[in-house]
Structures are given as structure tokens and as C-alpha cells.
Chains A and B, each alone.
Chain A
Amino acid sequence: MSKKVPINHLRELESEAIYVIREVVSQFENPVMLFSGGKDSIVMFHMARKAFYPAKVPFPLMHIDTGHNFQETLDFRDWLVQETGVKLIVRYVQDSIDKGRVVEETGYTASRNKLQTITLLDAIEELKIDCAMGGGRRDEEKARAKERFFSHRDEFGQWDPKNQRPELWNLFNGRKNLGEHFRVFPISNWTEMDVWQYILLENIPIPSLYFSHEREVFERDGVLYAKTPYLKMKDTEKTEKRIVRFRTIGDATCTGAIESLANSVEDIIREVAATRITERGGRADDKRSEAAMEDRKIEGYF
């Protein structure tokens, strides 16, 4: 089979991401790829496989499991690991709670979203990880728009947004001192639409949560939440069955569903093209304050 790959914008973004992933493997000794089971990390992992084929992906995936995942996400993760033979490392927020490293939030808006930072930083220290690749995109949130491809973290895992290394051409500087690490974002330049178009182009499997399905949900502050054991409902809140899908996949406690009939990637692309709300518009974790993302990132969030 022989064919010429055209250089459209998706192929150029793909080439860039593959270049970045190969730089990581060349510049770091013990990298991991953070994997949440969401579409961004799935696309990133797909390109990692392309980058090293026919060899195996030369680093493990790492999942920071909050314990509040949708079961569909976990099933998909395990299927993907089985299918591709990649090594998977899982670290649990529950362990951090049990060890007293973090204190569980309480109340109706309780979420483990913020707690995962500690679990992640502990894992990086424990496993001597010198680079963690993430599926963050600059178009997601305004603090992310300032992020480098190669983002330096000090020995406390902190990001210093006002003092970032200049990043020129395609020359990525991954030099660091012992105990420091890097976060690398291969799909920095992708938008939500690019990700979906690429999923369609490459025919990449994704969790069923992204497609339209019937689910028991309840409404809070204009956001539809799934009924799960992890999210405490108020007495006034009532669940009902609706036809929904998820635009992003995070914890059940902070990811809103949207009413949708889209049940193919083509449908989703049409929906994304028509929608007027950002994908993180349904994320309670970003709504906590105007600088919510910046603050979490400084501490060492994904």
C-alpha cells in the first residue's frame, strides 16, 4: 500500500505533536503520558503509537484515578491497554486521602478535582518521573493560552507563569536540575474541533459517554449532572431521564452533560460547529473563580 499524505492543517498539527512526543523520549529518562480516558489524551496516545511504530510506545500511561470516574471511562481505559499492550500506572486519590495527604472536600459541590494535584505530584516524586505529557490545549482556557509545549516545574512541582522559558522555532529546552520535572503538551495548538476532526479522520475509538444516550440526570446552576453516588444531591433537586452526551470527560462530580442526539463522530462535529458555548462551559471546576485554572496550574495541576 502506497499513498501520499496531504499536508492539510490536521496533518501539520499531527506532525508537530509527533515531533514533540519524540523530543520527550529523546530528552527525558523517565517520561509518562497522563491519561484520563478523555478524547484529548486518547488522541495524544494515538499519535504516540504512530510516532514509534512498529516499536511499542516507549513510556507508560499514568492515570490519576479520583475514584469518581464514570465506569464507561474505566472500561474504555482497560480495553485500550489490553488492545495496545501499553503499560499503565494508576495512582489513587483515595490513597492520598487515606494517608492524610489531602482532606476530602465536603458539601454539595465537593469534588476531588483539586485533590488530584497532590496525588499526581506524589506519584511524580515516588516514581522519579522527569516528564509528564498531558493533553492540555491552549484553546481550552485563558491561563492555558500562555503555556509552553515544554513547561518547566520546580522541585515543588509548581508552575511560574510569569517566568517561563522562551520557546523558539522547534527547539525545545528540556534541561533541568535534579528533582525538577517538565510537563509537556504535544497538542497545545489543537482546538476542540481539530480533535474531533482528527478522531474522524483516523477513525479513533472513544468512550461511549461522548455519544448520545439515556441517563438519569439532575440540573444544578444550569448544568446537567449525572446521578452518581459521588455527587450529593440537595433535597430540592430531582433526577429525570434525559437523552444526553458528554462534551468533556472529567469526574462525575464536575462534568456537565448536554442534551444531544449526536451518536456518531460526524454528528458531534456538526454539533461542535453549531455550538456557541465553550466545552469547559460545563465544567464546575473552572467556574470557581476567574483565575481558577491559573491557580490550580501554579500548584501543579494537569
Chain B
Amino acid sequence: MEDKTIERSYLDMELLRFTTAGSVDDGKSTLIGRLLYDSKAIFQDQLEAIERASIKKGEEYVNLALLTDGLRAEREQGITIDVAYRYFHTPKRKFIIADTPGHVQYTRNMVTGASTANAAVILVDARHGVIEQTIRHAYIASLLRIPHVIVCVNKMDLVEFRQEVFDNIQQKFHGFATHLDLYDVRFIPISALLGDNVVDRSKNMDWYQGPTLMYLLENLYISNDYNQLDSRFPVQYVIRPQSIEFHDYRGYAGRMASGTFRVGDRVKVLPSGFTTTIKGIDFWTDHLESITAPQSGTIILEDDLDVSRGCMIISEENGIKQGQDIELMVCWLGDKPMIPGGKYALKHTTNDLRCMVKEVKYKVDFNTLEKDYSNKSIGMNDIACISIRTTKPLFYDSYRQNRVTGSLILIDEATNVTVGAGMII
């Protein structure tokens, strides 16, 4: 009974978030359009609308890019300005695409899209090969610790589907990627326009034996993408019903940042450092035995301790770094340059505090990926290594180990705008 599976199959579906990066005209929107179209996530009325628009513009093929450009300015200028989120699913997985624009000046959008991604799809135009933009995209994937990188060599149809073009690009990519922190990189030769190796296997490239893009997206092993070793629970909110039925109830609500807690675990509460035992884990009316990242829930402790938003519950034996002097990589997002010695508001897990920029150690030269110790002015889209001092101690891990407890944002206190994305070293 196929109908039965439609209703119940969702209980076995996993969620995969990926980001797409490419230069202008790499065919990124076409690729996304293809994924959506071939997985039947595009509806008839949407397709008819873009068919009408394509004809109006006098285009030869149905321009699938028109599906993803949501803002009027984007349609008018034919470019993507902002991160757009797209959704599709197959029987195996539900996918969230963070579609980020490819222009040089929009590095901040790729960083935004990359921050929550399990995988990055980087597009390379087969005719142009590895270019500066490719290197930047790979660098950001590495900096943001995206667990899986898929390099799609697109427009293979325009190079007669020749294997040496693909092999060359693969070699070039490996050449510079050895300097980066990428640990799962795959290469696929595709034609997004014609659909080769996107969902269906290409009939034009017998020499390629690897998986299609869709197969990879469906089968990437993502269970290890969350840190499973270090149990951390940032307290988000304290639940105190103060009702007759739940008179003494005091639960700490939050979302498991990494690892697992079980009822009976010995834990430490920061910043006080007091230790206690987990008495219960509640979710709605259920009493759970354990809670694992990224689950939300409510933890009840054995002892009556002073715990509030901004505190963190960690396992007793597994330490976390603490300190006020933090070194981090920062991607600058604000349109005003970073002020050395300047003060910024800072958000880290559920903590709000302030910090001062103490020193710019170096800026990353985006063309060579070398450290530039001479030019220390940090403007929008720059990536730099800086040190800050916070107003109170932070409990953190390095971003390499933990994307939740190792990340922070800086906020301009005058405009309230998010101006920096920080990854703790």
C-alpha cells in the first residue's frame, strides 16, 4: 500500500541543511531549480509563472533561476541579493537550502548560510575552472567547519563532457585545499541545465562512476555532524509554574548544544561551578531518559542551585574553557569598519555581554589565503584573527570542536545591527 507509506514515512526522514555557493553565472540558480523541479518540489502554478516570465524575456529554456529570486530588486537586476531558503524532500530526507549569492561583495551572505549547514555545494564553471571565488568559497566552508563539501563541476555540456576538464579541476582544487581544514570533499561533473548527474545519471559521461548529486545529498552520513562527546546545555529560560499542582517545579529549559545527558548524570553548573545530579528531563508531558543535541527540553536538577538564563550545564568530568580573553576568527558583516579598541555587544549561546576589541592579529588575504600582518583595517566581508576581552567570563569550546559553544556574534551598540560573526580559536 503506497498510500500508507506517504503518511508514515516522515517518521524516518532526516533533516539536511546545505548551502550553495558559486560565482555569477555559474548556474547555481539553475541547479537549485533543477533539484526542486526533479524532486517535484516545484508546483504547477510556480512553473507556469516562470514559463510565462521566461517567454517574456525571450529566453530559450525555462529559466529556473526565476524561481529563486524573490525580491523585486533581484528580478529587476537579475541577481540574487540576499540568502534565500528553499525546501524540498525525497522519501529519505528533508532538505533546507540556504541559497547564497555569488558576488564578491556578498561574502557575509555565504557565511550566514554556511553557519548552520551540514554540507556546502560549491559550483565551478567547467569552462573557467578553479577561480578566486572558488578558493574563497572553499575557505569559508573550511572556516565555518561545514562537515561535507561537494564540488559540482557545472556546464560539462559546454566542454563536450570531457573527462580531462573535470580531472584538471579536481587536481587544482586539491592543490589549494590541502592548506584548508576540509575533511570530506567530493567532486561531481554535472550539467544543471540538462540535468546530467543532478538527479539522474548522465548518459554523456560514462567515465564518471560516482554518485549523482541527489544521491550524495540523500546519503551523506550526518549523524556525526553534531559534537557527541561534550555534553553542554545552555540554560535558555527557567520554568516555574507557581501553580498548586506544580508548586515546587523548577525546570531549566533549553536546547542541547552538543552531547547527551541522561537522568542520573553528574553535572556541573557554570559559572557557579557547583555539582549536582540530573533528576529529570521533561519534554511536554513526557519524562525522558535522555536528551541529545539538537533536542529542546527541560532539565530538573537534584539540588536547589542558583541557575538562570546564561548559565550552562555541563558534564562533571568534561571540562570547558573559561575566560575573558578570547582569540577568534571574525568575519566582518557591518558596513562600518571594525573599530580597534571599540566596544561591542556580544551574544554567545544564551549569554549577553559586552566586549572590547583588543587587537587585530592579522587579516586574511582573500586572494592568496595568506595572513596579512601589515594591513589591519577590517571592513565589510573581511576575515581576520582578533582578540577580545569580555566583561565577564565566557564558557566556551573552540569552534573547531563545537559549532554552538564556539560561535558568537558582535553587535554595534549604537545601531543594534549584527556586525561580526566570530569563531573562537
Q: Which residues of A contact B (CB under 8 A)?
A: 1-16, 18-19, 22-23, 25-26, 49-56, 138-139, 141-146, 161-162, 164-171, 173, 175-177, 188-189, 191, 193-194, 197, 200-201, 266, 269-270, 273, 275-278, 281, 290-291, 294
Contacts and interface: CB of A to CB of B under 8 A. Distances in A.
B239 A143 contact: no
B253 A145 contact: no
B120 interface: no
B15 A9 contact: yes
A25 B44 CA distance: 40
B241 A54 contact: yes
Contacts of B253: 22, 51-52
Contact of A146 (B84, B89, B421): B84
Contact of B112 (A1, A168, A188): A168
Interface of B is mostly: mixed
B264 interface: no
B138 to A, nearest CB: 19
Contacts of A168: 111-112, 115-116, 407, 409, 418, 421
A167 B418 CA distance: 8
Nearest to B81: A162
Interface string B51-80: 000000000000000011111110100000
A278 B41 CA distance: 10
B71 A276 contact: no
B240 A55 contact: yes
B20 to A, nearest CB: 14
Contacts of B289: 2, 4
B82 A8 contact: no
B277 interface: no
Contacts, number: 199
Nearest to A264: B7
A227 to B, nearest CB: 25
Contact of A5 (B112, B249, B295): B295
Contact of A3 (B13, B286, B345, B404): B286
Contact of B288 (A2, A10, A14, A53): A2
Given A15-B295, A26-B309, A168-B112, 9 more contacts: A18-B296, A142-B70, A166-B109, A191-B89, A193-B10, A197-B7, A201-B10, A201-B11, A281-B45
Interface of B: 3, 6-7, 10-15, 43-46, 67-73, 75, 81-87, 89, 93-94, 96, 108-109, 111-112, 115-116, 236-237, 239-243, 245-246, 249, 253-255, 282-290, 292, 294-296, 309, 333, 345, 347-348, 350, 403-404, 407-409, 411, 416-418, 421
A146 B96 contact: no
B85 A188 contact: yes
Contacts of A170: 116, 255, 404
Contacts of B285: 1, 53
B407 A171 contact: yes
Contacts of A8: 10-15
Nearest to B46: A278
Contacts of A176: 416
B237 A11 contact: no
22 contacts: A1-B286, A6-B11, A9-B13, A19-B255, A22-B253, A49-B284, A55-B239, A55-B242, A55-B249, A142-B69, A146-B70, A146-B82, A166-B421, A168-B421, A170-B404, A173-B416, A191-B94, A193-B10, A201-B11, A269-B6, A269-B7, A278-B43
B7 A266 contact: yes
B194 to A, nearest CB: 23
B116 A161 contact: no
